Structures are given as C-alpha cells and as structure tokens.
Chain A
Amino acid sequence: MLKSKTFVKKTRSGGVMKVVREHYLRDDIWCGSEVCTECKQESTVLQKDACMESSLCSYPHYLVPDTNVVLHQIDILEDPVICNVIILQTVLQEVRHRSAPVYKRLKDIIHEKEKRFYTFTNEHHRDTFIEREPGESANDRNDRAIRVAVKWYSQHLKTFESDTDGLKVVLLTNDQGNKQKAQDNGLLVYKCEEYVKSLIANPELVDRLALSSDDKNEITSSKVLFPEHLPLSRIQTGIKSSSFLQGTFRASRDNYLEATVFVQGEGEDSTEVLIQGLQNLNRAVHQDVVAVQLLPRSEWVAPSSVVLQDEGTAKDDEDAEEEEGKLRTAAVEAARKPTGKVVGIIKRNWRPFCGMLNVSQIKESTRHLFTPADRRIPRIRIETRQASTLSGQRIMVAIDGWPKDSRYPNGHFVRSLGGAGEKDTEEEVLLLEHDVPHQAFSQAVLSFLPKMPWAITPEDMMKREDLRPLTVCSVDPPGCTDIDDALHCRELENGNLEVGVHIADVSHFIRPGNALDKEAANRGTTVYLCGKRIDMVPELLSSNLCSLRSNVDRLAFSCIWEINHKAEILKTRFTKSVINSKASLTYAEAQMRIDDTNKNDDITKSLRGLNKLAKILKRQRIEKGALTLSSLEVRFHMDSETHDPIDLQTKELMETNSMVEEFMLLANISVAQKIYDEFSECALLRKHPAPPPSNYDILIKAAKSKEVKIHTDSAKALADSLDAAKVDGFPYFNTLLRILATRCMMQAVYFCSGMDSDFHHYGLASPIYTHFTSPIRRYADIIVHRLLAVAIGADTTYPDLMDKHKQSALCNNLNYRHKMSQYAQRASVAFHTQLFFKSRGILNEEGFVLFVRKNAIIVLIPKFGLEGTVFFDSKDKVSPNIVFEEEGPTLSVEQHKFHIFDKVKVTISLDDSNIQHQKIRMALIEPVIPGVSVPAPDTERPAKKQKLDH
C-alpha cells in the first residue's frame, strides 16, 4: 500500500519547498516476540518470560519508552537490568533527529543481543501507521503513533495469552498529557521515575535517573540567578543581522569566572570575545556553541591574570559576587579585549565528564557536588545515595540541564571508573578526557572481519604480483605486533639496485563505507599509551592478517624503485602484491647483522644495501634543508607482574632506525607525488607549514645568551646553524637547542589537495608529502592506499573518495584525533612518571633551565626526559624579590640571576595533595639562594630500595 508524506520546508535562500515522500505500508512486519505464533519471523528478540522485578508490574512485560524517555534516560536503558524493550521507529527517528550521540548509543544497545531491544517499524506497518490530522502538531502525532503501536502490541499479544500468564506491554512516558491519553485508551503506562523506583531488585538504578524538569524546583531556591536564554529563532535573526556572534565557548582553565568565545569569521580571520562573570557566562559550558552579544566598548575589560578555582562547599551567589569583584582590575586601554555576554545556546556539547565527588558535609544528604577532572567544566550537582562508596572513586557524570535558578548544573551519576590513583582507572580517565574512542569493537564492526581461517584465494593471487620469492624482512621496535612495513633490496643484472617497500594492504580488508571502515575513520589513529595500545582496527587485522609477520604469506601494497648506487631513483612503480617476509627483526638485531662481518646471508646483504642507500638519502635530504630535531622520549621498564614502571630511560636511536625511516619517507613522497598527479583535487596529503618568524624569538634569544647565532631565514639555514651550534664544555647544549627548536615548530596536518594551495613540508624539506606506510595504525594511510589503488587501476573508486569536501571533513577529524592521541600519550607518560616517582620518594637530580618565566623557571631533567616548574612565589611563604627581564630573558631571584641553559640541581617529588591533579614538584637545591632553595635531602632510603630490588 502506498501513501505519501507531504510537508513544506523553508529553503536556505528563503523560499518555500514542498516535499513529497512516498511511504510504503506493509503487512509483513513482525512483532519480534517469542510467544507470537502468528508472525512468520525467523528469529525473535523479545523473550517469553520477560521478567524484571518490578513492584508495579508483577507480570512479564515489555517496555516501550517514548522519545523523551530515551533522550533523557539513556543511561538507564543502557543498564543490563533493562531488557526486553521495544523501540518504535517513531522514537528512533525522533531520537536521531534530536541527538546524534544518544542515537548512536541507542543503536549500540539495539545491536547488543543480550539486551533484547527490538526495533518495531511501526511507521511502515499497515495497522500502526497513522496520518497527521488537521490541527495536530508533529509531536502530538508522534505521541499518538506511539500509543497506537502500544495498543496494537497489547492486542496482538493478548491473542496468545492462553498459555502465558498475561504478557503485557508497558509504555514509559514522562509527558503528563500523553500518559493521560494512554490511560484513557486503556494502556498500561508509567512515568519512567515511577517504573525505575519500582525495580526493587536494583535500587542503584535510581541514581542514574536524569532529573526531569519538573523535579528541579525542589532542588534549588526559586531565586533566578541567570538571565533567560533567547529562543533559537531570535538567535538566528540576531546572527543574521550581526547583532549577535556565534562561536565556540572555551572556558578558562585557571579562572572559573572567565571564558573566551572563539568566533570563526570569513575565511581566515577569527576573533575571540572575552566573557567575564557568572551572569555573562550564563550557564554556557566548555565547548558549547553559543550566541554572544558584545558589550559597549566602555565595558570592555582585559583578561585577568588571577587564578580562581571554584572550591569548597556549594556556594551561594554572594560569594560569587565577591570573587567577581576581584576580577575588576584596572587595565591598560590597550590590553582590553572585546567583551561580551552569552545570550543563548545554539548547541550544547555535553558529554559525560570524569571526575570525583565532593561529599556533602550533611551526612544524610543525597545531593552532592561533583568536581570534573577538566578544570574548564563547572561543578555539577548530582543526587546519589551511594556517596560514601563513591567518594575516593573516579566517576562519570552527565549533565541533564542547567536551570536559570541554579548555581550549578544538575546531573546524574553514570558509572564508576574505579578508585582514584589506580592505574586502570587513571588510564580510563585519560582516554575519556582526551576523547579517545576505546570501547571494544561492536558486533557490527566485527562482522566485517574476514572469516578465519583465512587464506589468500587464487583470485587474489591473479590480481596481485607474486613477490614471495624476494628476500623481504621487517625491522621494528622490540615487542611490535602490528608490523605494517617490510623492505627488500637486491642487485639487478644491470648493476642497479631494486628496493621495495611493502606496506600491509589494509584497504583490501577494510572496504569503504562499511561499519568497520566507519569505526576506523572515527578512531583515526591507534593510540599508544605506556604499556597499552588502543587499536584503530580490530586485533585480528592489526596483529595478524595485516601484520607482515615472518614466514607467512601476506597481502601487501608495494612501492618498488630502481635505484643506482648514487641513490638516484631511475624508476618507480606501485603494485598490489603478495609477500612472504623472511625475518622480523628489531632495530638492534638488524644493526647487529649489518655490523657482523661474518654474516653473509641474503637478509644481511639486503640490509647492508638498504643501509648504504639510506645514508646517502639522508645526506641528500639534509643538504636540501631537512631538520633533525630532538625531543626526549622516555621508555619505561615495566614490572612484568604489576605493570608498574620500575625504571625509565630515554630512548636511544640506532642507525637502523634511520634506515627504515629513510625508506618510509621515500615511499611517502613517491606516493604523494603519484596520487597528486592523478587526483589533483582530492589527494590526501600532509603538510607542515613554516612557522612564523616570531616563533623563533625564544630560540634566537636563548642561543644568543651563549653567543651562538641561529639563522632562521630558511629550513636549510636553521639546520646548518643548529649543526654548527656548539659550546665548549657543554656537550648537551646542542640537544637543548634542538629541543627548543622543536617547540617553535607548527603542527603538521592532513589536508585535501583541492582545498589548499600550500603543500610544503617544512620539517622534511619536501615539496609534497603524505602518509602511506602505516595503514594499520593511521586511517589517513588507508585513504592514501585507496587513492593509489585507483590510480594504478587495482581497485575501484567510490563517490566519497572523490568528494573534496567530505575528504576535507575527514582530514579535520584525523587531525583532531591525532592531536588528542598525542595529548593522551603525553598524559600517559606523565602519569607513569608520577607512579615512578611515587615509588622512589624524593630524588635530587641535575637539570637545565629550559625556559624562564615571570615567577618560575622550567627545568629539564635529561636523565628522565622530565620537565618541571620551580616556582619562586608561593601562597604560604613570603615571596622573594623577583625581577624578570624580557630581554634575555632572565629572572633575578634575590641575588641570583637565572639564564636559559643554566645548570641547576633540584629535588623531585610527587605532590599528591590533590588526588585528582597529582603533579611532580621540583624544588631548587643548587644554586643555593637563602630562603628559596631547599637543603639536599637524603635520598638513600634503604626501606624503599629493598622493596624495589625484588
């Protein structure tokens, strides 16, 4: 049966469009229940004895939540207790329309078999489809559709009632009107709160209930604290007439009464609007998209430099006013910035936040404040009865709303992550806080994996070049299981060398557009934490089928050059291939083979050839102006049982590291050129912009203090002057300079060639560059593989690959994930460093001054690759006489003058006074400044030592 749906909508240009959609009704949509004998379904989702112990419903029943229940109480629905739920299509569509994250979570629940969630496509069912009636609003129609579907279900199930004791359908709604109408229709209906409270066996679920709007009155005083938000239509007209600005709200880390709104202007120019004071912040939360109104110029202020934390017990507004007073510092006219106030919220970007509970002082109270780990998020008021168990744990809390008469947003408890300070908990926290998707892969994703046992089929062999006879080997860090590159080198009959780089053919397994591909595109990159890896693709691929392990046949994408002995490329070709690696070596093993003159097997010869070429290639690259920068990377020695770090050392580099790297760079550049030649509009490339000259100021100043001149006119000049920079008696100087130079650099980013004109890679001094060599751990490489495969005719293309706007959106996500993964990695290192120092107590070490700040020096400890701040002013002590000079820069503390690169001695200890934000504390020992430096502590503490020696 055909029906059509008609609606009118406004087009962007202001016109009106009538849209007609065909809508087919069917009579073969089954109910999904086990008891049903009428529906010809193959498998059922809903159980016969659907028992949830509820004091309201003593009989077996299915739940039907309405849209608002799903939107607000998704945390409840996710609980394993709740099962046998019918999700109506009407609800699913509305949820999808209103909140993408909730929709995704709902879809995930539906996919989970144990949850027994059944989607009933009531909109296409002949008996449950209804048309909108004159005078009926869209919401009313949907509510009616839900009621009709529930009615249908209860009648449908009634016909099989003879053998069961009355399977019933229960509608959950929080809408009073809807509930009333449902009752009038003779349906079983409860409010979500009522129902959840009736689940006698699971009282803890009540904590997860989101506060609905009608409960909020009891929670706060009726005093209105904030101005009303404007409705969306007003905001839109305001933005159109440019009386309001739209931007992303960024709360300040240091001052909870201050924020900036980042307004993206036309093209490149964008402005920042300062927001100060609770009233002006008007309930906006970090990362929300808001509308701001600029204040008159006379009310503009300068950002305050005060650090203000929202601490202590729940505050009344008087305190806040007092604190706001502190912000009003007399500012120089020039320092004033455009200042505004938030008038409305365009889009909330709330996610569940990690943090800890501040248990209320009143013992019986169920309302507590929650302090998020991220300082930019305000404290959240939640209601819980398990405060005593939750204190001292890291928990997750979601915000439900922020009424205008409440000082804090209201939220609800989502789940506990575990005890604070524990390794697993902290790892989870840092993954969540850096937005690293780290859940186990869903069934939908896993369903696209190849079936095991897997073997290369004859069809695959037909399309691929058989390179199995070649002596291919891989060189990786020890313990690497995701080997995505392998190399070979052999002498040709004409005396030239043939070098091949073989990259795991991940794009063979991950087909465009399926769930596996989408998941990988979303994750963007594999994240390496200390002792843990968060895979981008499921382990079967990353550590087995795509990993180019030795002595197994693997699919590869090969890049093969013919190179002469001067390392000039004569020929380049790309092909899909099958390889069989002869050895998986570590860098050290490879190095040993090369150095061992007694060995003369094929692998060793091949390695020697590669090494020789790599050296030439490297020299050529450096001559062109490629930079060798330095940043200290540390490696933890983990205890094999406890996985606690027992020692840490900085990573050292071997010749073979740079050998592999050289060929990877070469492959990347060759591929970049090829895909750009073929697809000038949609090639995915990577660029590294040249830093603006002002970035180098600190480097030049620092070098000048040691009478060394650094030229920064070009990458080549910089590289040369870095090489020449040496100071007698200070061997570490050059490394320090290179560390500083690294800090001056810009971020390298992925981009789509059709959207940009500057392709240059500054650091590598290459006119074009991309990522091709690590498809197991980077999604960008998968796209590049696909592009290259299309370019050589080995694979088919698909529309999104050639769409530069989609491509560019993908790049943005990849850049974001890449950045976040680096932050997560750093946070992980920092956490492990803390663990390390926790077990070590107080140490004293030698270090170098890396930066000089107004009230502190930043010290680098080369031994641990650790950076820390030595503060010279503290709250509890009388601050010493400090003079900071911009030129130099130098800092005089009492009599002593600190310069960059000064050698100092410090004590290192762990400051765990704030359990959420533990940090490494450093204090000065040498030079001795009376009243500032501390005496060198006795670090030899036998008790600790013994414990570590086991």
Chain B
Amino acid sequence: MATVQVSEAEKVYILHGIRDDLRVDGRGCEDYRHMEIETDVVSNTDGSAKVTLGHTAVLVGVKAEIGKPRPTVPAEGYLEFFVDCSANATPEFEGRGGEELGTKLSNTLYKVFNNKRSIDLKSLCICAGEHCWVLYVDVLLLQCDGNLYDAISVAIKAALFNTKIPKVHISSDEEGGKEIELSDDPYDCMRLNVENVPCIVTLCKVGHRHVVDATLQEKACSVASLIISVTHKGTITCMRKVGGGSLDPESIFEMTEAGKRVGKALHAPLMKLLEQEESLGKKRQKVGFLG
C-alpha cells in the first residue's frame, strides 16, 4: 500500500496534535475530510459512482448480468467484487504490484456487502435455481491518499443506489421451457434497496487515541487500525483489525463505540445527497472526470 516516509519529529508532532484533538489539517479526531460524490458517471455500467475523499479517489461500477444461483442458496442472487489498483494511483501498483492489495480489499468487501442483511439478495433472483442477477462490482482506485476502505464503501453504496437493473419477465410455454424476455423500454427497470447497506469506518489507533479518515502521514504513525462496517442504525455488521500492532480490549471497545457514532452520522447525509441528486433526473449537469 502506498506509504509515506515520516520522520521522528513529524511523528511526535502528529501524535501530540491528536492527543489534543487537533490534527495536522485542522480536523478533529472524528472528522472526515471533504468528500465529493457523483453517481451515474460511467454510462455503460448499470450503476456507477465516483467518490473523492481528500485526495483519495475511487470509481465504482456495477454491472448486472444473468447468472446461475449458487446451489446452496438457489433463491438468491449474489455480488462479485473486483478491485483494480490502477498504476495511476501510485507507481507501486505498476505491473502486478497492486494485486495483493486488490485481493485484500475485495475479500473484505465480500465479507461486508455480500450477505442478505446488507442487500436484499432475494430481489436479485429471477427464477429460483436457474437464473439470478449477479452484480459485478468493479472498484477502480484512481488515487490513494489514505482511508481507502471508507471511500470504497461509500462509493459502493452510492453505486448500488444508482444501479438500474433491466426488468425481465419469464415466459413459459406448455412444455415447461422457460424463456427470459427483456422489457423493450429502457426506463422500465428495478432499483435496489440500499437502506441496509453498511459503510466502513476505519479507525486508526494513534498514540492513545484513535482517529477516523487517517491521512497517509497519520497512518504512518499508527500501529494498528480497526475496520468496522456500520449500518444506518448503528449496527456493526463486520469488524476487522489490520496492522501489526496490538489493541487492548478497552480501546477496542472505545473504537467500536466511536465507529458506531461516526458511521451513523455518515449515512444520513449520504442518503440525503444521493436522493437529491437522483431527483434532478436528466437535468443534472454531469461533472465527470474533467470537472
């Protein structure tokens, strides 16, 4: 992962600041950096979103395809994740350099999103045991400036919100043969309920305190961080510790509490923003990548 070199003096400076709830860029410990969201940015996907968080930029595209349901859950669809660490983000990703990180990220994403509590997977079923929608969620890292998990999770939620799956209906003839028919109207499509889709909040333990949305410098001062996925109700659906250092039970408890708090506060404005954008419809001026 992209890292920066931080000198001892810098470290001390950052540490002392955080101790006093004042971070290098002027934020408090539980503040996010400036975040920008735009949905429907890639026209040939079924749903897409671009999120920038500080200088971190991610693009998420969702493609819906018809597949066969998993044998264990015949009446549900499923999601597939792929994270592409583009060499645009950092030269380290060149060649196969980003592969390891990509796998790590997508494994976490499977854990967080691909379950029926996050998304109503039953609604993705077309015909039990035979056909279901498979949502291919492709994440592209455009720039790395710390806190990838949070940015990705917000982008995924926005992209899923934006996803329009064409409506199909199944016609069957007397012999029992089934045929999937597509609606001819491009506006006739199904939307996903993203209410329960969680967001990931990463908390970094820096010194004795913890911060959300750590920058790369802060990250360099941290020994361990906790990745928590939180729903809009504040329920924790998933938790994972990353980093080499250890965390004592007390601080884990503190960090989860903070995570819940931050996560809850993150969902409400996000949903409001997405709905606002949606309501603009076709009149919305697209910003895209050049804006």
- Which residues of A pack against B, CB within 8 Å? 4, 6-10, 14-16, 18-20, 131-138, 233-234, 236-238, 240-241, 243
Contact = CB atoms under 8 A, between A and B. Distances in A.
A6 B42 CA distance: 12
Given A134-B187, A240-B177, 18 more contacts: A4-B43, A14-B180, A15-B66, A16-B64, A18-B44, A18-B46, A19-B44, A20-B43, A131-B282, A134-B185, A135-B185, A137-B184, A138-B184, A233-B171, A233-B179, A233-B181, A237-B171, A241-B175
Given A16-B66, A238-B173, A8 B182 contact: yes
B166 interface: yes
B173 A234 contact: yes
B43 to A, nearest CB: 5
B186 A15 contact: no
How many chain B residues sit at the interface, stated as a range, is 20 to 34
A20 B43 CA distance: 7
Nearest to B173: A237
B265 interface: no
B65 interface: yes
A136 B185 contact: yes
Contacts of B65: 15-16
Nearest to B42: A20
Contacts of B43: 4, 6, 20
B127 to A, nearest CB: 12
A881 B124 CA distance: 80
Nearest to B177: A241
B22 interface: no
Given A6-B43, A240-B177, A16 B186 contact: no
A243 B66 contact: no
A16 B173 contact: no
B168 interface: yes
Nearest to B281: A134
Contacts of A236: 179
A237 B170 CA distance: 12
Given A15-B66, A135-B185, A233-B171, A8 B179 contact: no
Contacts of A243: 175
A14 B45 CA distance: 18
Given A8-B166, A134-B187, A233-B171, A16 B182 contact: yes
Given A16-B65, A16-B66, A233-B181, A8 B186 contact: yes
A132 to B, nearest CB: 7
Contacts, number: 57
A15 B46 CA distance: 14
A134 B181 CA distance: 19
Contacts of A240: 177, 179
B129 to A, nearest CB: 15
Contacts of B171: 233, 237
Contacts of A138: 184
B187 A237 contact: no
Nearest to B178: A237
Contacts of B179: 233, 236-237, 240
Given A4-B43, A8-B182, A138-B184, A16 B177 contact: no
Contact of B66 (A14, A134, A241): A14
Contacts of B282: 131
9 contacts: A9-B182, A16-B168, A18-B44, A18-B45, A18-B46, A131-B282, A133-B187, A135-B185, A237-B173
A8, A19, A134, A240, most chain B CB atoms within 10 A? A8
Contacts of B177: 237, 240-241
A233 B179 CA distance: 9
B136 to A, nearest CB: 12
Given A7-B186, A134-B187, A20 B44 contact: yes
Interface string B153-197: 000000000000010100101010101111011110000000000
Nearest to B181: A233
A374 to B, nearest CB: 37
Interface in B45-68: 45-46, 63-66
Contacts of A15: 65-66
Interface string B184-214: 1111000000000000000000000000000
B175 A10 contact: no
Contacts of B168: 16
B82 to A, nearest CB: 18
A215 B65 CA distance: 46
Closest 8 CB pairs of A and B: A134-B187, A20-B44, A8-B166, A20-B43, A241-B177, A237-B173, A241-B175, A237-B179
A747 B65 CA distance: 49
Contacts of A20: 43-44
Contacts of A137: 184-185
Nearest to B133: A16
Contacts of B186: 6-8, 132
Nearest to B65: A15
Contacts of B63: 18
Interface in B65-86: 65-66
B59 to A, nearest CB: 16
A20 B164 CA distance: 14
A22 to B, nearest CB: 9
A138 B184 CA distance: 8
Nearest to A134: B187
A7 B184 CA distance: 8
A18 B65 CA distance: 10
Contacts of A7: 186
A525 B82 CA distance: 57
A135 B65 CA distance: 24
Contacts of B175: 241, 243
Nearest to B182: A10
Contacts of A132: 185-187
Contact of B187 (A135, A233, A234, A238): A135
Contacts of B64: 16
A10 B180 contact: yes
Contacts of B66: 14-16
A367 B193 CA distance: 64
Contacts of A237: 171, 173, 177, 179
Nearest to B183: A8
Contacts of B166: 8, 16, 18
A10 B184 CA distance: 11
A176 to B, nearest CB: 22
A241 B177 CA distance: 7
A131 B173 CA distance: 35
Contacts of B173: 234, 237-238, 241
A758 to B, nearest CB: 39
A238 B175 CA distance: 9
A237 B172 CA distance: 9
A4 B45 CA distance: 13
A14 B131 CA distance: 10
Contacts of A134: 185, 187
Contacts of B45: 18
A133 B188 CA distance: 11
A138 B65 CA distance: 24
A243 to B, nearest CB: 6
Nearest to B171: A233
A11 to B, nearest CB: 9
Nearest to B174: A243
A10 B168 CA distance: 11
A589 B60 CA distance: 83
B64, B171, B186, most chain A CB atoms within 10 A? B186
